[in-house]
Structure formats: C-alpha cells, structure tokens
Structure 1
Amino acid sequence: MENLTIADLPGGDNFRDVTSIFVDAAADMEPGAVILREGFTLQDAMSAFEIGEPRLDSGMAGDADQRPPFDIWAPLLPQEICWIIDRSFSHEMLWHAGNTLAHTVFTCLYALVLSEMHPEDMPYRLNNDALRPPELIPVVLRASICGLLKCCDLSWRELSKGHVHDTEDWQSDKGDTSLLEGMSVQNVILGLDGAITWLLRAKKVPDPWATALIARLNLRKALLQVMNANIFKSASGFLDLVNIARNQLKTVRTYPSPALEPESTAHLAFDPYIARKLNSTVPIRVIDVPAVTETWDAIDALLDGWDEQRLLSMTPIVSTWEIAGNLRAWLPTPPLRMPYIRSSTQSVFYDGLLVLNKYNSAWMIDRFFFETLGVSYQSVMNFVDRNSKSQWPHPWADIQRGHFKLMTEYIRALWYNPPRRRRFLMKVLVDLHIYYTRLIGIASHLPDLPSTEVMRHIPACALIWRLSVIREVVLSGFLLELYTSEEKSFAYWYASQVIEAHLACLDDVLLAMPPDCPTDREMRFQHSLLTALQAMTIPMFALSMPLMSFAWRQMHANFLRRYKWAFGVGYDLSSIPVVAVPNFDNFTHVCGRMLQDQTFSPSGSLKLAQSILTQLIEVRAIGGYAGLWTEERMQLLRILADGCQRLQGVPDTMAEMPSFDVGLLKWDPQINPWFPVLEPEGAERRRNVHMRRAEPYPPAS
C-alpha cells in the first residue's frame, strides 16, 4: 500500500493552525462556560455533529433536495389553487394525527410568508392572464391559509390545556413560527368572506372551479366557527355549524381537485424539508401525504366527534358519560377520536370549576348515589345523620370534595389514549378503595338493616364502580395486546373472579332497588352482560392453559410484575380487606381442578353466553343509562355474540383438550376487543381428529 502524503488528503494541503485564535477569544471565559446565540441550545450543538445520516442532520441538503426558488406570486390556475388548499387540509389532519407542524402544516410555504401576500403587495409586473387571475393568490389562497393557521392555533390552545399529552398524543413544537396567535377569529372569517365575495362578483374564475373554491373556503370557515363556538351557549347553533360543514364537505367531495402535471408550479408550494430552516431540533422526516379522500374521511370523523360532543354536553348523567367513553375504547368503529376531540370533550365535561358548565361538587356526588342506589345524596346524609350511632359528626364535606376530584378525573380519563387510560385506572383503584373504606366506616355506625333497605348498601356504591374499573384494567390488556401467551390464562381467570364479585354485589343491591327505575334497568342489563362475560372468560381460561409453560416460579415472578398495581402501598392505609385481589396460589390450584373437571364444557359455556347476548339484542334490553349510545352498546353486544359464534369449534369437554390445537386461537382487537377467534379451519380440523383422553398436565407446585 502506498504511503499517503498531506497532498493526498481531502481538501488539499493548504491548512493553517487556528487554535490560538480560539484560545485568545475564550481567554475571558470561565471554565465550563458556553456562549450560545439566541435560540441555540446544547441540543442544537449536539445535533450539529456530522454523523453521515441526512435524516438526522437537519441542516444537510443533498443533491436530490435541490429545488427551484419559491416565487410567492407565480401565477396559478384555479385548479392548482384547489390542489394546494386540499393538500393543506391533508397536512392539517396529519398534524392532528400526531406529527409535527414542521413536517406537516409548515411544509406549505405560503403559511410562512403570509405577511408578504397582501393584495397591495402584488407586483404590477404580473400579467393579467385570464386563466390565472393574479388575485387568486392574495385574496383566495391567502384567506384559506389564514383559516388553516387559525384553526391550528385554536386546536393548539385546546391541546395545550394538558388533557392529552404533548409528544404522546400530539406535537406542540411550533418551530418559532406564527399560527396567527395575534389575529382574531373574526378577522380571519372576514378574509374568508371577502374571498368568497370576490369569487362571486368578479366572475374571473369560471365554473366548476369557482364553485369548488367557494366550497373549500366555506368548509374552512365552518370548521373555524365550530372550533371557536361555545357549545353551551347554543347547542342548536353548534349543530347548525356542524351541519354547514358537512354540507360544504359534501360539495368539496363533488368537485375534487385534479392530479397536477409534474411540471406544475403548484408543486413548489410545499417543501418537505422546510424544517431545516425553522427553529426546530426535530430530525427531518418526509411524511407521505395520504389520498385526499382519506383527508375528507378524517374531517368527517372530526365532525362526528363534534356532534357526539354536542350530545354529551346535553347529557347530565355521569353513567352515560362513562358508557360513551368506554364504548369509544372498546369498539373498533368508529375509531378512537383524534386528540383534539378527546381534549375538548374533557373540557366540555369539566372546565376546572364546573361540570357541564353549571354543576358543582354537590351535584356530582348526588348523581353518583342516584345512579348507583337510586336515592339522592341528601337522602343518604339525612338517613345517616338520623340513625348513626357515632358520637362524632361524619365528614360529609371532605367526602364530597374527595368524591368530586375522584369522579371528574375518572370520567375525563376515559378520553385518554388507551395506554394512558389504563395506567390511570390502575392508580385510581387505590382511591376507590379508600372511598369504599370511608363508606363502610359510615355504614358501620348504622343499626342492622334488612337487605331490602337501600341504605344498607351505601358502601356498594364505591365497590360497584371499583370492580368495573378492575375488570377494565384486566380486559384492556387484551385490547392493547400486552399479555404474553403465558399470561392470558391467568388474565381470563382473574377477570372471571372480578366478575363473580361484581355479580354478587349487584345481587345484593338489586334486592333493595326500586323496580323499573333507570338505575334498576341499568343494573339488570349489567348483570346480564357480566353473566355472559363470565361465561366467556371461564372457557377462555381453560382453553389458554396449554399456552402456559407451567414453570410456576417464573410465572409467579411475571405475575408480580404484571399485577403490581393491585399491591400498592396505598392499600396499607386501610384496614378493610381489598375485594377481588389477584391470587396466584388460588390460580394454580384452580388449574389442577379444571383439568380434572369432567362436567365443564367450554363450548357449552360459550353457547350460554351467546344465548344471553342474543336475548339482550332481540329484546333491546340495553339498560337505563345508555341513552343516545344505545346503538353503540348494541354493536358491542353483536361483537361479543359474534365472538361466541367464532369459538364454537372449541372442545365440548376438558377430556378433548389434548386434541385441540390452541394455535388456532387468534387475538385481533379489530375483530373482538377481549376474546380470540378460532380460525375457520379449526372446527373442521377438530372434527377430523381422533378424540383421545386427556393426558395429565404438569401438576401445580
């Protein structure tokens, strides 16, 4: 190998040592001191290292990234303006989907130069091209971009309230770029109205493009008005705005923008690498823009979310809010609402002062007792104060404050993203147990009451809600695909134990419930649904056992990690035993008994569940608090009933388990949130396999 000389090195040999220059310049600095220009952070400095990866070096521009200079005033055809507006809608929906502004909205270069797009700044040199009216840019396009940025501003303000989580649900980084924070909504609407008026009166844009542009401007205007509206001021007015937006969206779909030729100037309106010129440390990421039909679908889902929000704002029933929130998590369609809708829904429920803009803490606890026991909070207080044997006054004020905080946080948490929601429910279980303990303390000072006296069941209020939360924590593990194959059997068994405790609690309370009241109807529906769920979880516990390794020591270690939320130190503050604690030792013993059970039929249990669910569907016995979400609750019942049908190929007895291929069970949350399906060939394969007696599984130790 030849020896290299200095002349062979890249850059030649004309180097000078400049170390002394930097040493002299830093002579007055203290050791460890750093000089940074304004807006330049240590993270920027670390990002400046050349690592040879263009995606991570936000300042690096490759040869393929070179593009002609952007000309604000380049004449555009009306259909090109339509295309730019449609693409800006797409980028807005991509931001709502969790991407950064620098990679979505700000890639539209017109959004960065609005201050230069005034009509009076329009160069006189522009030719008066009849096909490309110069006013399209400073009048029509500018109004649309202003509306886009103001919608993003209003969304940003809602999202920044902290109801959803920055960098987890959405990206708050603006890159020091304006979202027209200082411009009023009314001024933006005036600009949109002015653009619409120009299109109608100037007659410079022929149909169908004039109609297409007007529909897009009206759609932007309606979206802006909905975002800026007070839903409590006029629910009917809010609905009118949503319907206007729906109508304009329908028109926009009817007049789609065309696919542009590759040489069209409109393509230069978007620069996917603009983040390198913004004050942003986020690595460059080029996001594929979806088909415009997907954008319209996303806006349609946004409008559906607003419509549901309007219905919820008129629903002063806490249980209905809980039902609606749970259904959004359980049902695959419609999908989980975008973060903006989930945040604004939480704001509608509780704004930090009042619930639903008019109710205080007394109303909240009153609804809690009425929807659980069928009696008012005042009735409970009066009964306890008259009949209590305690020599000390009961801390009703403290209970009311604690209940208000607990329940408002719980309802709002139903609109978190699924992992965050599950973590919150784990934490709230301790508070619910402490609340249950306090109610037991109050009930302990009452005289012996018959089981038909509703006041006997005061502690059951907290216990019913707590058992519902435990069940959701356990079953949501399947929805989020958290469980390993080895963990599924225990999860189903524990869910059945929680449901058993819940059913026992409902049995007691129903003895004292006034017949045919909303609370009674809701509890009877819950009782039927829980019975069906238990009839599904028990066979799934048995069918999942072959997935276990039966290495009990390792399984116990995994159990402690997975269910550590059930053994928190917070429970030590209460002397009352915790109801429905997961117990691994009991599980191992039940596994042994289940394998020897000659009477249990997995397929028979699933048929029972299907029968219960089918009956609920046929008689529409959906309960007392589903309200306007009755159809969504029916959808859940159909999914569960269909799940039972899809599992009809499972063994009839435990003796047939060795011939059953457990690998045919497939868990897919898009089909069923909690239960697997049996692949179609599973039932046929089972019929063709010679049945033989079960061979013993390794014993529990």
Structure 2
Amino acid sequence: MESLAIVDLPGGDNFRDVTNIFVEAAAEMEPGGLILRDGFTLQDAMSAFEIGEPRLDSGMAGDADERPPFDIWDPLLPQEICWIIDRSFTLEMLWHAGNTLAHTVFTCLYALVVSELHPDMLPYGLPNDVLRPPQLIPVVLRASICGMLKSCDLSWRELSKGHVHDTEDWQSDKGDTSLLEGMSVQNVIATLDGATAWLIRSRKVPDPWATALVARLNLRKALLQLMDANIFKTPSDFIDLINVARNHLKTVRTYPSPAPGPGSTAHLVFDPYIARKLNSTVPIRVIDVPPVNEAWHSIDVLLDGWEEQRLLSLTANVSTWELVGNLRTWLPNPPLRTPYVRSSTQSVFYDGLLVLNKFSPTWVIDRFFFETLGVSYSSIFHFVDRNSQSQRPPPWADIQRGHFKLMTEYIRALWYNPCRRRRFFMKALVDLHVYYTRLTDIAANLPSDLPRTHVMKQLPACALVWRLSVIREVVLSGFQLELYTSEEKPFAYWYASQVMDAHLACLDDMLLAVEPDCPASRELRFQHSLLSALQAMTIPMFALSMPLMSFAWRQMHANFLRRYKWAFGKGYELSPVAVVAPPDFNSFTDTCGRILQDKTFSPLDSFSLAHSIVMELIESRSVGGCAGLWTDERIQLLRNIARACERLRDVPSSMAELPSFDVGLLKWDPQTDPWFPVLEREGAERRRNKHVRRVEPYPS
C-alpha cells in the first residue's frame, strides 16, 4: 500500500511553529491555571477529553497523582485495621449523604478486591509478625468490608424503588463494581461472626484492640441485620437490634482509633482518584473525609430513623403519619432523615399492595373520615344512600380510588426532600379540588332541611381543610426554601393569612358538627388555635415587609403570575365549584392601601396575641388528638413559634411608626426559623431607645 505524501494530508505542509506565542502569552499564569473564554459551552468541555485536560478527563493521571503500589497483603497493625474500618463507616455515611460510590465507598481499595481476600488465598511465606498477624486482613478486615458492601447493596435496593429520586437524593451509579449482590445476608453475617470468634479465641490481638475490633464488627452486623429485617414480622426483635447497635456504637466510641503515622501503608488503602479506573461517567471529585465522630453521629441519626419507623409501623392513624412527616420538615432537630430512611419509611406505610402491611384501600378512606369528622366511611355511605335526592348514585368507586391514590401519595410525599415535596403539593392541589367538588355535589343532594350543624353537611369540609393546609404549606415553604425575593414576601404573608382565614372559617363549621369529646374534635380545636396564632403573625409580617416592595404594580403582577401559576391550571376550569381562597393580586393591592391607613392595627399587639395563644397551648399541653408519642415534638414546634414571636418583640406598636421602622433589620434565616424572620437585636435596641414608649418583654 502506497504511503501518503505530505501534500496529500489535510491542510498541506505549510505549517509554522507557534509554541513560543502560547508560552509567552501564558507566562504570567500560575501552573494549572485555566482561562475560559466567554460562551464556553458543553461542547468545548467535551472536547477537552480529547486534548487531555486533567481536570475534565477522569482517566488522566497527572504527575502529582502518582502513588506507591498497593499490596492487599501488606501486614497491618490492629489499630490500623480499626482506622480503616472507621474510615469505611465514614465513607458509607458520605454515600448516604448523596455522594457517589466512586467517590466514597469505592475509594477503599479493599472494596474492589474483596473477592481476593479469602483466607485460603493468603500468600504462603508471609513473615510471622506478632504485632501484625496476617489473618487480620483476610479474616477481620474482609468481614468488615463484606458487611459494608452488603449494607450498601441493601440500601441501594431500597433506594432504587423510586420513593426518592436518583441523582437528586442519592447516586445509584455503581461504576460496574460489585456490591456483593450475589452473596446472601446470612453468608455475610456468618463471615462477621467468624471474624469475631477468631479475635476472641486466637488471642493473637491484644486488648484493647481486640475489644475495639469486636465492637466494630458487631456494629456492622447489627446495621446489616436492621437493613435486612422485616419491621412488621418481629417488631420486638427490631427494637432489640436497634438497642444492640446503640450499645456497640457506644463501645466503639469508647475505643477510638488513632490516625496512622505518615509512613504507614494504611494510607495507601484509600485512593480518592479511583474513579478514573472504574466505569464511571462522573468527573473526579475528591471529597474531604470528615472526622469519624461525624460518622458515629450519622449512624446515631440512622438509628433514630429506624426507631421512629418502628413507632410509625405500630401507628394506625393517618393523621399521626401526616404530623410526623410535617415535623421532620418544620423542626431543625432532629434533622431531615437520610434518603435511605425516608425511602424505607414510605415503604413501611405502603408497599404497593397494603397499607401498614395489613390494611386495604377502604381502611384509608375510613380512617380519614373518622379522624376528621369522627364518623366512619361506612356510616357516610349508608346515610347518603338512604337520603340522597339525586337520580344518580354517587360515584363511590371513583371516590374511593381517587382518595386512596391521593392519600398514599400525599403521605409518601411528606418524606420527599423539601423541594420535591413542595412540587408534589402544588401538583396535587388540582386533584384535591376535584375531590372537594365530588363531596360538595354529594352534600348538595342531601335533604335541604338537614341543619348545617349535621355532620353529613360537613363532608366537603373534609377535603377543603386538607386542601387549604396543603396551600398553606406551599406558601410558607417558600420562605424555608428561600424562594421569595424581597418584593414577593409581603404577598406571600398576606396570601398565607387569607388561606388561614378560610381554613379557620371551615374549622368553625366543623366544630359545631363534630362530637365535642372525640379525638377528631380535640385535633380540630388544636388546629384552630395554631392557625389563629400563625394568622396573627402573618398579618403583621405582611404589613412590616411592605417597604420591601417597589410598588411597580405591573412588574409585581407579572412576577405574581409566574410564582403562583400552580393556582391557575386548566384543571380548575373543568370544575363547576369555585376554588376557595385563590391568590388574588387585586385584593392584595387594595389591602395594601387599607392597612397603611388603619390607625388601630398594631403589629406588636398581633405578635403578643400569637405568643399568648401558643403559650396557653404549651402550658395546657392541649396538642390535639393525633400527636400521640410525638406530643413533645409538637410542643417543641409551639415553643419555636413562641420564640419567633419573642424575636419580633421590638416591632412598631402602630402603623404610624412604620415609616421609621428599618425593614433592613428583618433577617430571614431558615436555620433559625422556617417561616419568620429575626429582628437584629442591635438595630432593634437603637430603635427602641429612639422612641419614648418602651416595649415590655413578653411574660414568661
């Protein structure tokens, strides 16, 4: 075959060496620097793979990344084994926090060669080092690594059910690396038990390291058993496993592992750049591994999540499930559960066939009406069947099917991440209005002489209070997620107060119809008091935040339509029943003018009223009929609301003082309070001293 001449090559042979031009141009740049031109695109970034840019090419290793070879059979001290196990726990918790396996668990090189660590493969002729027994690696360390990989496998299976979202809550990419999918849990447990038995019987590892290693292996075993357990089959065994794990964790903390010296081969066990050797599409990302105490804290939180799951599995009360899901979002402590716990909690509630592993769809709708109105679904069905004046029977099958789907998806959504949770609520509002329309049609066909205080007349209210509470959460969660601009905050507070006003009116009618001593009535009274307090806080916040607006009504209206587009979907046009408490921009602008002229309105008095309502609830411990085992946490929510009032004790006492109020002193921080701002103390002190009237502190 003839070779190509230079003149036949693309571009010919008229080339000039321009290396010096680029060298001189980059003379002032630091090594490793990068200049990005305007309009740098994804196509440009992908082209870097071809030119070998090390920061974008996962497979390229620079000179600085060179490391000594790793020998899986290098003898290790017992304390070094402890350190490796502790670090593997930390990496596993980092994966649960939303990082990829390639950047966390798989950076432990033993996880990639665990199949080669069998005791039968121990090389012949290793030195018999008393301080570094060779069995530590194929027996003890192998058992721990197997336990870690199998725990990740069980977690992966739960997370992949779709209750939480891949790449949003967690990372499913395995990089074509085994998580011991083909190895049974019992086999792994036997491996852990064998390692524990070797440590106890061989006496080749002296104390305290033998005790430290046994505690770590037992902790790994307990966590694996919890992930594999069926919470419904043996609830007593499940809590026993939680207590066992807590005891082992306490022992592990008592025997901390020191970091190996700089020359220790234990450091070679972890390679943060291992992703370049895996079948992974994500760029290299070196994650700073936190202190091991943070891993122990994460495991503590994981155990708390399992314990709460056990309590919820024994709770046949839908309102309590709703309460707990809301508390996990509203309270900063305990923090939002890990994706694994949130997914498994959803599985506990509904596994795709049964609710709480034993209840049918009919049970869900029955509990809903019983917990809301104090009457069963069957009694509603028979009453309507006997007294309906409609020529057509109500579509009970559609109602049951729609209610069950709405309720199960709604409860599950309470354990979504905050952004996904809010998005689900916005989409569910149309279906909730359709459900409200159906119940309104049923109530309209009941006898006209039926008094409004009759419980059957309040059927539509069941759906309405549900829908209004979802709207309230959509609006207030915007503060928690820091979605609102400064100009949007006054409308959000005003609209929240309007929704609460409609909710309170609905509760007033329901309380007249429900038996006063039933659990449903106690819950309705608590909700009425809580909403009264929140409304007493949102109205003054609307007034105080008005100076944040530009009063450019046309632009504000355009922003309003974008922010509240969920309230104007096409689904509402198909319903003959008007939407209750829709967002109304014209009413908002009218209210802005009226409240500025209202000489009797006092923001300070409103917060004082809210504080007194909440404190009365706390002191009486009247926390509703569904709090149950979460009574203390609901009281904690009330205390947080009371503290929010106390932080705003220096607001103006009348609207006449509003022009002199520095709205810049209001600082919204979701870590401090999810819905209401903090009034900076120094600025508030200056303002308070400026006025003759002194604001008295709230009574304790």
TM-score (normalised: structure 1): 0.92
Aligned twin of 2:616: 615
Deviations 1:359-400 (A, max 9, x none): 111100001110111100000001000100112122111110
| Match in the other structure for 2:160 | 160
Describe the shift of the 1:573–1:47 C-alpha distance in structure 2 as closer, same or farther (beyond 3 A): same
Provide the C-alpha distance between the structure 1 equivalents of 2:60 and 2:97, rounded to a whole number of angstroms: 27
1:290 aligned onto 2:290: yes
Cα distance between partner residues in 2 of 1:392 and 1:497: 36
CA shift, 1:451, in A, is 2.4
Distance 2:47 2:67 in 1: 24
RMSD: 1.7
Q: How far did 1:47 drift?
A: 6.9
Residue 657 (str. 1) matches residue 668 (str. 2): no
What's 1:35 paired with? none
| 1:471–1:499 contact (8 Å) kept in structure 2 | yes
1:263–1:412 distance in 2 versus 1, CA, 3 Å? same
Matched, 1:591 2:580: no
Cα displacement (A) at 1:299: 0.4
Aligned residue for 2:140? 140
**Distance change >3 Å, CA 53–CA 335, structure 1 → 2:** farther
Instruction: Kindly indicate whether residue 637 of structure 2 is the aligned counterpart of residue 636 of structure 1.
Output: yes
Q: Please tell me whether residue 343 in structure 1 is matched to residue 343 in structure 2.
A: yes
Counterparts of 1:411-422 in structure 2, within 5 Å, are 411-422=411-422
Deviations 1:312-334 (A, max 9, x none): 00001000000000000011111
After TM superposition, list the pairs within 5 Å mapping 1:305-320 onto structure 2: 305-320=305-320
Partner of 1:696: none
Aligned to 1:393: 393
Q: Against the structure 1 CA distance between its residues 523 and 9, is the aligned structure 2 distance closer, same or farther, given a 3 Å change threshold?
A: closer
The aligned residue for residue 568 of structure 2 is 567
The equivalent residue for 1:576 is: 577
1:64 maps to amino acid:
A
> CA offset at residue 671 of structure 1?
1.1
Summarize the alignment of residues 687-698 of structure 1 with structure 2, pairs less than 5 Å apart: 687-689=688-690
Cα distance in 1 for partners of 2:290, 2:222 equals: 23
* 1:542 maps to 2:548: no
Equivalent residue, structure 1, for 2:512: 511
Structure 2: how far apart are the matches of 1:338 and 1:438? 38
Are residues 47 and 303 of structure 1, via their aligned partners in 2, closer, same or farther at CA, if it must alter by over 3 Å? Answer: farther
Q: Shift in Å at residue 53 of structure 1?
A: 4.1
What code does the residue aligned with 2:248 have? Q
One-letter identity of the residue aligned with 1:163: H
Which AA in structure 1 matches 2:75? P
- Do 1:273 and 1:286's aligned partners in 2 also have CA atoms closer than 8 Å? yes
- Contact 2:665–2:684 at 8 Å: present in 1 too? no
* Pair 1:376–1:5, CA change in 2 (3 A): closer
Give the Cα separation in 1 of the matches to 2:652 and 2:277.
64
- For 2:254 and 2:664, locate their aligned partners in 1 and report how far apart those are by CA, in whole Å: 48
1:625 aligns with 2:626: yes
Q: 1:174 matched to which residue of 2?
A: 174
* Cα separation, 2, equivalents of 1:431 and 1:171: 32
Q: Determine if the alignment matches structure 1 residue 485 to structure 2 residue 499.
A: no
Question: Quick check: 1:47–1:57 contact (8 Å CA) kept in 2?
Answer: no
Q: State the match for 1:93 in structure 2.
A: 93
Q: Match for residue 606 of structure 1?
A: 607
**8 Å CA contact retained: 2:419, 2:481:** yes
Q: Residue 27 of structure 1 corresponds to which residue in structure 2?
A: none
1:131-280 equivalence runs, <5 A: 131-280=131-280
Instruction: State the Cα distance separating 1:172 from its structure 2 match.
Output: 0.2
CA distance in 2, matches of 1:159, 1:49: 32
Bigger drift between 683-692 and 554-563 goes to: 683-692
Distance 1:202-1:577 versus aligned 2 partners, 3 A rule: same
The question of whether the paired residues in 2 share the 8 Å contact of 1:656 and 1:691 is answered with: no
Asked if 1:303 is matched to 2:287, the reply is no
Q: 1:48 to 1:655 in 2, by over 3 A?
A: closer
Pair 497,130 (structure 1): closer, same or farther in 2 beyond 3 Å: same
Structure 2 letter corresponding to 1:396: W
| Cα distance in 1 for residues equivalent to 2:18 and 2:541 | 72
Q: How does 1:357-368 map to 2 (within 5 A)?
A: 357-368=357-368
Q: Tell me the secondary structure at the aligned position of residue 49 of structure 1.
A: helix
Deviations 1:557-602 (A, max 9, x none): 0000000000001111101000010000000000000000000000
% identity of equivalent residues: 79
Counterpart for residue 331 of structure 2: 331
SS in 1 for 2:262: coil
Whether contact under 8 Å (1:436, 1:462) holds in the other structure is yes
Which amino acid is the alignment partner of residue 133 of structure 1? Answer: P
**Partner of residue 382, structure 2:** 382
Question: C-alpha displacement at 1:424, in angstroms?
Answer: 0.2
Maintained 8 Å contact 1:95/1:105 = yes
SS of 1:459 mapped into structure 2:
helix
Task: Map 1:515-534 to 2 at 5 A.
Answer: 515-534=516-535
Task: Name the aligned partner's letter for residue 149 of structure 2.
Answer: L
Distance in structure 1 (CA, Å) of the matches to 2:116 and 2:47: 32
In structure 1, what is the Cα distance between the partners aligned to 2:278 and 2:652? 63
* Per-residue deviation, 1:170: 0.2
TM superposition shift of 1:54: 2.2
Determine helix, strand or coil for the equivalent of 2:582. coil
Give unmatched runs, 5+ long, in structure 1: 11-41, 693-701
Aligned to 1:72: 72
2: CA distance between counterparts of 1:301 and 1:553?
A: 49
C-alpha separation between the residues in 2 aligned to 1:536 and 1:54?
55
Q: Cα deviation per residue 1:3-48 (whole Å; 9 max; x = unaligned)?
A: x9878969xxxxxxxxxxxxxxxxxxxxxxxxxxxxxxx99x9577
Tell me, what secondary structure is at the counterpart of 1:356? coil
**Contact 2:48/2:56 (CA < 8 Å) preserved in 1?**
no
Given that residues 56 and 283 in structure 1 are in contact (C-alpha distance below 8 angstroms), is that contact kept between their aligned partners in structure 2?
yes
Q: 1:89 to 1:47 in 2, by over 3 A?
A: farther
For 2:252 and 2:564, the matched residues in 1 are separated by 51
Deviations 1:477-515 (A, max 9, x none): 001010000000000000000000000000000001101
5+ residue gaps, structure 2, are 1-13, 21-41, 694-700
| Cα distance in 2, alignment partners of residues 154 and 573 from structure 1 | 45
Question: What code does the residue aligned with 1:312 have?
Answer: L
Quote the Cα distance in structure 2 between the aligned partners of 1:49 and 1:432: 50
The letter for the 2-side match of 1:608 is L
Q: Which amino acid aligns with 2:471?
A: I
Matched-pair contact (CA < 8 Å) for 2:107–2:274: yes
Q: Cα distance, 1:241 vs. partner?
A: 0.5
1:400 & 1:682 partners in 2: Cα distance? 56
Q: Do structure 1's residue 82 and structure 2's residue 82 form an aligned pair?
A: yes
Say if 1:436 and 1:463, in contact at 8 Å, map to a contact too. yes
3-state SS of 1:280 partner: coil
The answer (yes or no) to whether the contact 1:649–1:682 under 8 Å persists in 2 is no
Aligned partners of 2:621, 2:534: CA distance in 1, in Å?
18
The verdict on how the C-alpha distance between 1:243 and 1:689 changes in structure 2, with shifts beyond 3 A counting, is same
SS, match of residue 49 in structure 2: coil
Q: Is the 8 A contact 2:415 2:421 kept in 1?
A: yes
Aligned residues: 658
Name the SS of the counterpart of 1:286 in structure 2: coil
CA distance in 1, matches of 2:358, 2:315: 12
Structure-2 separation of matches of 1:656 and 1:552: 25
Q: CA deviation at 1:629?
A: 1.0
The answer to whether structure 1 residue 467 and structure 2 residue 468 are counterparts is yes
Counterpart CA distance in 2 for 1:217 and 1:325 is 33
Q: Quick check: 1:83–1:257 contact (8 Å CA) kept in 2?
A: yes
Alignment partners' CA distance in 1, 2:55 and 2:134: 38
TM score, norm. by length of structure 2: 0.92
473-482 vs 385-394, which moves further: 385-394
